[in-house]
Structure formats: C-alpha cells, structure tokens
Amino acid sequence: MNTDTIQIWHGNIAAEEAHYQTYWRVLGAAEQAHAEKMKNDLLRKRYVEVYGRLRKVLAQALNELPEKINIKKAEHGKPYLPDTPELAFNLSHSASALVIAVGWDCRLGVDIEACKPRTSLAGLVDKCFAEEESTYWNKLPEVQKTLAFYRFWTRKEAFVKATGHGISLGLNQCVINPENQAEFLRVPSEYGQASTWHVQDIALGQGVCSALVADKDIVEVRLMELAATT
C-alpha cells in the first residue's frame, strides 16, 4: 500500500449466522468480551462482523494474521495500533452500511450516514453548526437542506473522530467553509491550523453521505469494495 494513498473499504454488514464464527475467531479478547455483553442479537452480530472485517482489512495492510493484531483504545475510545502507530484507521457504520479508512502517517477520520429526512434537522443545525454554516444552510431551498445537512454533518463527524476526541469535542468547534467545503475555516487550536486538515467526500451511492478527513494532503483515495465475506 502506497503511503500517500488512503484506502476506503466499503460494503454492507450482513450479520448472518453462517459467517458469525469466522469473524468471532479473529476478534481480540476484549472485543469478544464486549460482544458477549450485548443483549440484542442483531447488534451483537453486527459488532462481531464489523470488527472482524476491520481486523481482516488491517491484516492486509500489515501482512499479519488478523487475530494477531494488537488493537488498543485511546482515552476517548478511538482504536489504534500501539505496535504500528504510523498506520491510521477509522471506521463508521450506519444501519447495514460500513466504511473503513486506512492510511499512513496521519490522523484520519471517516463517517457515513443515511440521508434520511428528519424533522429535527433545524434544531441540530442550531446546536451543532457554527454561525457561518447555519447561515448558509438556512438560506438554502428546502429541497436542498437534507442533503446539505448530512454533507456538513459527515465532514464534522469525520474531523472529531480523526482527533480521537469524538463528538464530545463539539461539532460546532470545527467549521467547514461553506464557500469551499473541502476546507475548514476553524478548528480547535490544540489540533493545529485549519489549513492542515483536508476534507474529501466519498461517493458511495444515492441516499448515503460519507466523508473522509485527514491532517495531510489527500493525494489519492482508493475505493475498495468489501466482499460478501472477507
């Protein structure tokens, strides 16, 4: 894998009983323990498949057995590789859609959302968007607002995930430039200059919004489709 390339693996979570043990066997002890605590059968199957698939993707990048990969969680819950910290990765899933980003020598985050109309969008804009973003959004024609909301949301989510802090950082603290939505106007000072961070939307089909954020130039993004079972 070229270190300038960020791979985006995408596919659907089947959560099928037939492949459950395949994914279960490659999980770490902490992941298995977490899964065993989950009472909802579908959520447990999805969790096992998501982290089983993640380990198989990382195994390709590292040329390792998936069950041998040492995955730890940072203070705010973001997983990382203590033995290979230069390999960055992040994942996101929405219902059955899954996306995994893998890159080298950077901080990165990825988010995916189903673009469903919601009556609460205006309230979320007031709470989670900065003034420049909310002013732009409120001026849009109604037919454009749903898609525009999710495009802003996925970019902001991808940023807070890249920092490792997560949504508790405050989505209104990272501000997308409405006039050039591939760049930030502002980010919290502890994460450097806004110009350090780069945004790229990921085209994964109608009805889905996905975005990648990294603290280096995004030279190449390679879309990789997850097989039905991997």
Q: Of 220, 7, 15, which Cα lies nearest the Cα of 100?
A: 7
Q: Which amino acid would we find at residue 157?
A: E
The stretch 129-138 carries a mean pLDDT of: 96
Task: Look at residue 230 in the predicted model and tell me its pLDDT.
Answer: 53
* Rounded Cα–Cα distance for residues 132 and 32 (Å): 44
Q: What is 133-187 written as a DSSP string?
A: HHHHHHTS-HHHHHHHHHHHHHHHHHHHHHHTS-GGG-GGGSEE-TTSTTSEEE-
* Helix/strand/coil for 213: strand
pLDDT tops 90 at residue 75 = no
For residue 224, report the phi and psi dihedrals to the nearest 5 degrees: -125, 125
* Rounded Cα–Cα distance for residues 135 and 207 (Å): 24
Task: Look at residue 77 in the predicted model and tell me its pLDDT.
Answer: 85
pLDDT in tens, 164-191: 887 777 888 899 999 999 999 999 999 9
The stretch 49-70 carries a mean pLDDT of: 96
Q: What is the mean pLDDT of the chain?
A: 93
